[in-house]
């Protein structure tokens, strides 16, 4: 086929017919392919319509042109997933075209979409985080053993930015009995907790006064749950009703239920308290290195996501407060 005389729109029509008859694609899928391929033609067209009124010759498209098209889509704000889908549609067109005539290479091969942006971790506003960990569930007895355990766990999660696995690994003291060694422990006098994080690395994190008091309130009730036949579980700071060490899953379920009980607007989980801790400490101190150490991040890159959370909050304040930031402002 002498493709130089065949307009791009005609070639696309032939390709869609091929997909319909040979690949048996649905009308809905074909419509999506048609839109993506028509957009390719629009992107390949010269910026000045008077410069060249002819349609782009698809058999002469280069990889550099495809990269430029993808970059223009990215600049328009199109997300990585959508760009990846369009590149896939374009790649299929050129693969089919190569079967129809000789082409040196598929110009889409080797062109990758931008990396998918990771969603920012969800953090609660400071007042909501404090309400979550301090307010009693109206459906439960605030003086019960379960309520005291919950409050101590939730306060410590938020106070020290712990992972839930680190939280449940904490003992009441640094225990070394035969092969057993504590993965973590609380030191009320020093107001700090030692935990074992990822990679088996231990770190010490400060504990706030509210969490310390909640733990002191919990300890007498905890003593009544300790059972001699539970072995090393008896060292655990947080125990369930059967005297066994608290598990991550039970902690998650308790926090979720508590969040619903106090009518939190979000579906809360332990890692949300860790994110909230990091975001609030960074907002107040601006010390990224300190937050990195307290979170136990091996690289500061992992901690830098909280600077985006901080800016997000500042942007919200700006939008709400600045007269020139409001939509329609200045008219």
Residues that are catalytic: 163, 198, 271, 274, 297, 306
Q: Which of 96, 235, 109, 260 is closest to 176 using CA atoms?
A: 235
Q: How far apart are CA 194 and CA 246, in angstroms?
A: 17
Q: Which of 114, 108, 152 is closest to 133 using CA atoms?
A: 152
Give 286-299 as a DSSP string.
--HHHHHHHHT-SS
Cβ within 8 Å of residue 212, ≥6 positions away: 188, 191
Q: How far apart are CA 326 and CA 328, in angstroms?
A: 6
Give the angle 185-190-194 at the CA atoms, nearest 5°.
25
Question: Residue 232: how many CB atoms within 10 A of its CB?
Answer: 15
Cβ within 8 Å of residue 108, ≥6 positions away: 63, 66, 87, 90, 91, 94
Give 3-28 as a DSSP string.
GGGS-HHHHHHHHHHHHHHTS---HH
Instruction: Quote the radius of gyration of the chain (alpha carbons, Å).
Output: 30
| End-to-end CA separation in angstroms for the chain | 60
Q: How far apart are CA 204 and CA 192, in angstroms?
A: 6
Q: How far apart are CA 45 and CA 29, in angstroms?
A: 25
Residue ranges of alpha helices (H) inside the chain are: 8-21, 27-44, 63-75, 80-100, 126-134, 145-160, 164-168, 209-223, 248-261, 270-285, 288-295, 300-303, 305-321
Within 13 Å of residue 134, how many CA atoms lie on the same side as its CB? 13
């Amino acid at each position: 086929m002498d493709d130089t005389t065949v307009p791009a729109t005609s070639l696309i029509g032939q390709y869609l017919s091929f997909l319909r008859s040979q690949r048996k694609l649905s009308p809905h899928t074909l419509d999506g392919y048609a839109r993506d391929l028509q957009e390719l033609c629009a992107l390949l067209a010269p910026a000045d319509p008077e410069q060249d009124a002819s349609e782009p010759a698809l058999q002469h498209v280069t990889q550099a042109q495809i990269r430029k098209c993808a970059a223009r889509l990215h600049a328009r704000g199109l997300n990585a997933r959508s760009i990846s889908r369009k590149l896939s549609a374009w790649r299929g067109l050129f693969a089919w075209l190569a079967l129809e005539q000789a082409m040196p290479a598929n110009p889409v091969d080797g062109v990758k979409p931008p990396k998918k942006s990771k969603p920012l971790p969800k953090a609660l506003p400071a007042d909501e985080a404090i309400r979550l960990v301090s307010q009693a569930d109206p459906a439960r007895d605030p003086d019960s053993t379960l309520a005291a355990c919950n409050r101590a766990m939730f306060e410590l999660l938020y106070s020290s930015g712990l992972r839930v696995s680190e939280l449940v690994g904490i003992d009441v003291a640094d225990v070394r009995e035969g092969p057993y060694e504590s993965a973590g422990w609380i030191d009320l006098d020093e107001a700090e907790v030692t935990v074992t994080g990822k990679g088996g690395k231990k770190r010490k994190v400060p504990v706030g006064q509210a969490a310390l008091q909640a733990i002191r309130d919990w300890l007498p009730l905890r003593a009544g749950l300790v059972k001699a036949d539970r072995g090393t579980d008896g060292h655990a700071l947080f125990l369930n009703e059967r005297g066994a060490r608290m598990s991550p899953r039970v902690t998650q379920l308790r926090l979720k239920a508590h969040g619903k009980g106090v009518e939190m607007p979000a579906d809360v989980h332990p890692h949300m308290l860790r994110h909230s801790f990091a975001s609030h400490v960074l907002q107040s101190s601006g010390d990224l290195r300190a937050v990195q150490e307290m979170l136990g991040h091996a690289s500061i890159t992992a901690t830098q996501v909280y600077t985006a959370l901080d800016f997000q909050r500042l942007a919200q304040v700006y939008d709400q407060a600045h007269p020139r930031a409001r939509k329609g402002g200045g008219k």
